[in-house]
Amino acid sequence: MGRAPQEMFPIFILLLLLSLLESGAAAAGGGLDYREALNKAIIFFEGQRSGNLPSSNRVTWRRDSALSDGSFQHVDLVGGYYDAGDNVKFNFPMSYTATMLSWSVLEYGRKMKSLSELENARDAIRWATDYLLKCAVHLSAGRLYVGVGDPGQDHLCWERPEDMDTPRTPYWVTSHTPGSEVAAETAAAMAAASLVFRRSDPAYSSRLLKTAKQVFRFANSYRGSYGDSLQSAVCPYYCSYSGYQDELLWGAAWLLRATNDLRYLKFIKKIKVNGLPDLFSWDNKYAGAYVLLSKWAVVKKDGRFNAYKEGAEHFMCAVLPKHLSPASTTTYTPGGLMYKLPEYNMQYVTSITFLMTTYAKYIASTKTLFYCGDNSITRHTLRSQAKTQVDYILGKNPKRMSYMVGFGEYFPRRIHHRGSSLPSTAANPSHLSCNYGFEYFYHTSKSNPNILTGAIVGGP
C-alpha cells in the first residue's frame, strides 16, 4: 500500500472523537478526555504547516519555511502541509487530508462550534485549499502542480523545515503526462471545502467549486496514473496501487454533493468497480465513496443510490469482528485493535472506524439497521465498535500507552519527525546542515525536544 502519511491519522481520530462526543459517549469515556484529544488533533495540523505562519500558530516551535516554493517556475506554490516527518509536499495525500477535514465539518460542524473548534478546523482546511488553488493556476495551459520537494534528496538529509537547503523541485501533470488520481482527489478536496465555506465565505466557496469542476474535467479528460508520469517523484512514497477509477468516483461523488448536478450521477453510474473493498485509505477511496453516496439512499430514500448503500453495508460487514459479522475479513489483535496491514496499521484503524461512525449517523437518522448474516447491526453496534478503537488509541490497551503524542502521561516521545526531533530555531538559531541533523535523531535515544501535539504514530 505504500507509506502512510502521518497527518492522516489525526484527521480520523478527530472525526471519531466528534462522533463520540455528539452521541454522548464522552460520558462513558472511562477517564479519557475526548475533548482534550479533539483539541490536540486539530493543533497537529499547525505543526505541519509550510509557508508564512500566522502569529496565531499554536505550535510555537515552528517558524516560516519554504517561502520561495515555485519561484524557479515563476509560480507561487508557497503554503500547504509537509508530509509526515518530512519536508516534502505531496498533493495526493494532502488533498485527501483536506477532503476528510471538510467531511468532518460537514457532519459535525455544530458540535465543533459548541466546543469552540469550528474556526480552527476551517483554518486547517483553508491552509490546504489556498495552496491547492495555487497549484491549479496554470490549469488553462494544461498543467496542474501536484507537489514540491525532491523526496530522494529530502530523505538524505535531516533538517528542520526552517533550514531546508534541499531542492524545492515542483512537479506537475499535464494532458501528455496525466495524473487522474491526484487531479480527481484535488477536485474532491475543493468541492468538499466549497460546502464548508458556502455560508461563511460565499466568494471563496464559489472559487473553490469553479476550480473543482475544472480540475475534475482535467482528471477525466486526460486519464492516466501520476505514478507512471512522475515515477520517482512520487513512487514508492505515494504510488496509487488502486488505480484512478476510485478517485474519479470519489471526486464525482463530492461534486454531486456540492452541485446536485445529475450529470455527475450519470458519470458515477459508469464507473467500473473491481470487487468489494474492505479497506479505506489515502489510496483506495471506494469504501469512502460508497458511504458518502449511501446518504442519498439511507437519509433521502433515493432508490438510485441503493447500490452504494449495499456497498457500504458490505464494507461494514467485512470490517466488523467475527463475533458480530460472519462475513468479516478483518483480523483483530488479542488486545482488541483492528489489524489490516503490518506497516502503519493505525491509519487503516482510524479511517475504517471513521466510516463506521459516519454510517452509524446516517442509519441513526432514520432508525434503521442492516444485517451481517443473521446478526442485526444497529447504530449502537457501529458506535460501540468505534469507541473500542478510539479508546485503544488513547490509552486503553495492553501497554496502557496513548498513541497520540501529547495526550496522557505515557505517549511516544521520540517520533520520526524532523522538526520535532531537532532543536527549534528559538533554542538553536544556528543553521543545522543536511547531515548534522542526524546526530539529533538517529544517533541518540533521547526524547524529541519538541512535542508534535496531536500526532498519532503508525501503531504498536
What pLDDT score was predicted for residue 39? 94
Looking at residue 161, what DSSP letter applies?
Answer: G
pLDDT (mean) for 368-373? 97
Instruction: Of 291, 218, 301, give the one whose Cα is nearest residue 254.
Output: 291
Opening angle at CA 218, ends 213 and 220, nearest 5? 95
Buried b / exposed e along 169-193 (16+ C-beta atoms within 10 A) = bbbbbeeeebbbbbbbbbbbbbbbb
323, 380, 416, 443: the catalytic one is 416
Q: What 3-state class would DSSP assign to 63?
A: coil
| Ramachandran category for residue 62: left, alpha or beta (phi over 0 → left; psi -120 to 50 → alpha) | beta
CATH topology of domain 8-441: Glycosyltransferase (1.50.10)
pLDDT (mean) for 316-330? 97
Structure confidence at residue 7 as a pLDDT band (50, 70, 90): very low
What pLDDT score was predicted for residue 343? 77
What does the mean pLDDT of the chain come to? Answer: 93
Structure confidence at residue 292 as a pLDDT band (50, 70, 90): very high
Which cell numbers in the block locate residue 100? 476528510
Instruction: Of 80, 244, 157, give the one whose Cα is nearest residue 418.
Output: 157
- Which range of 1-5, 27-31, 251-255 scores highest in mean pLDDT? It is 251-255
437 vs 266, residue with greater confidence: 266
Looking at residue 51, what DSSP letter applies?
Answer: B
pLDDT tens digits, residue range 182-193?
999 999 999 999
Which sequence spans correspond to the domains of the chain?
8-441
Structure confidence at residue 54 as a pLDDT band (50, 70, 90): very high
Q: Any catalytic annotation for residue 416?
A: yes
What pLDDT score was predicted for residue 26? 56
What pLDDT score was predicted for residue 30? 62
The yes-or-no verdict on residue 8 having pLDDT over 70 is no
pLDDT (mean) for 64-75? 96
pLDDT tens digits, residue range 125-147?
999 999 999 999 999 999 999 99
Question: pTM here?
Answer: 0.95
What pLDDT score was predicted for residue 276? 83
Count how many residues are written for the chain. Answer: 460
Question: For the purposes of burial, counting CB atoms within 10 Å of the CB of 247, is it exposed (0-12), middle (13-18) or buried (19 or more)?
Answer: buried
What pLDDT score was predicted for residue 436? 84
What pLDDT score was predicted for residue 364? 95
Residue with cell 502512510: 4
Cα–Cα dist 97/38, whole Å? 16
The yes-or-no verdict on residue 29 having pLDDT over 60 is no
What pLDDT score was predicted for residue 6? 43
pLDDT tens digits, residue range 103-113?
999 999 999 99
